[in-house]
Amino acid sequence: MKTRNIIWIVLLLILGIYLFPSIKNRVVSAKNNFSKTSMAPGFSLKDLSGKEVHLSDFKDEVVLINFWASWCPPCKIEIPGFEKIYSDYNGRGFTIIGISVDSVSQSFIRNMGMTYPVVMANKRVLNNYGKITGIPTSFLIGRDGKIIKKVVGVYSESRLRNDVENALKDPF
């Protein structure tokens, strides 16, 4: 009986080691279906009040596009850091657009303290951004409209802050 338990533990450890690279945060420097010269696909999506939000509304700004869901624990982890950075850099050439892939309520957004624009995803935007298959997935867009970075998994506050500062310095 003990031998059987040890075998199961070893198998689970091996499986965990094998799966770990696919679970942890992955940063893709604009390579996954995109290159550094790829323009961010435009979109027009509705917020919870029905107002249209267009990516083109943020021309000449650094934009973080974050695909997320209310049921996603890693998404909930990164939202407070996003909010801090949005508060620090909004009005200085930076914004965040949260794109919810599920039905989200105004009370959820309020409870999470989200003050940046939140819009509802559709199949077209999911496909245009490389068939989003995991969330959270974030795209940092430069002031020239090109994709700078794609992050699958939690985009840490410190990494995002550094990336935003560098992108704001970049004269497009």
Portion of the chain with pLDDT greater than 70, in percent:
79
166 backbone φψ class: left, alpha, beta (φ>0; ψ -120 to 50): alpha
User: Angle at Cα 53 formed by Cα 50 and Cα 58, nearest 5°?
Assistant: 160
What is the pLDDT, as a whole number, of residue 52? 96
What is the pLDDT, as a whole number, of residue 2? 72
Residue 94's Cα: distance from chain center in Å?
Answer: 15
User: Angle at Cα 17 formed by Cα 14 and Cα 22, nearest 5°?
Assistant: 135
Q: How far is CA 118 from CA 96, 110, 130, 132, in A?
A: 9, 11, 20, 17
Query: At residue 104, what are phi and psi to the nearest 5 degrees?
Result: -120, 145
User: Tokens standing for 122?
Assistant: 């559709």
User: Across all residues in the chain, what is the average pLDDT?
Assistant: 85
What is the pLDDT, as a whole number, of residue 22? 39
Q: What mean pLDDT comes out for the span 35-51?
A: 88
User: Tokens standing for 97?
Assistant: 């657009």
* pLDDT tier for residue 137 given thresholds of 50, 70 and 90: very high
Q: What mean pLDDT comes out for the span 156-171?
A: 94
Q: What mean pLDDT comes out for the span 15-23?
A: 42
Q: What is the pTM of this model?
A: 0.79
What span, in angstroms and rounded, lies between the C-alpha atoms of 85 and 82?
A: 5
Q: Which residue has the higher pLDDT, 125 or 171?
A: 125
**48 has a pLDDT exceeding 50:** yes
Report helix, strand or coil for 5.
helix
* pLDDT tier for residue 157 given thresholds of 50, 70 and 90: very high
Domains and CATH numbers, the chain: 26-169 (3.40.30.10)
**30 has a pLDDT exceeding 50:** no
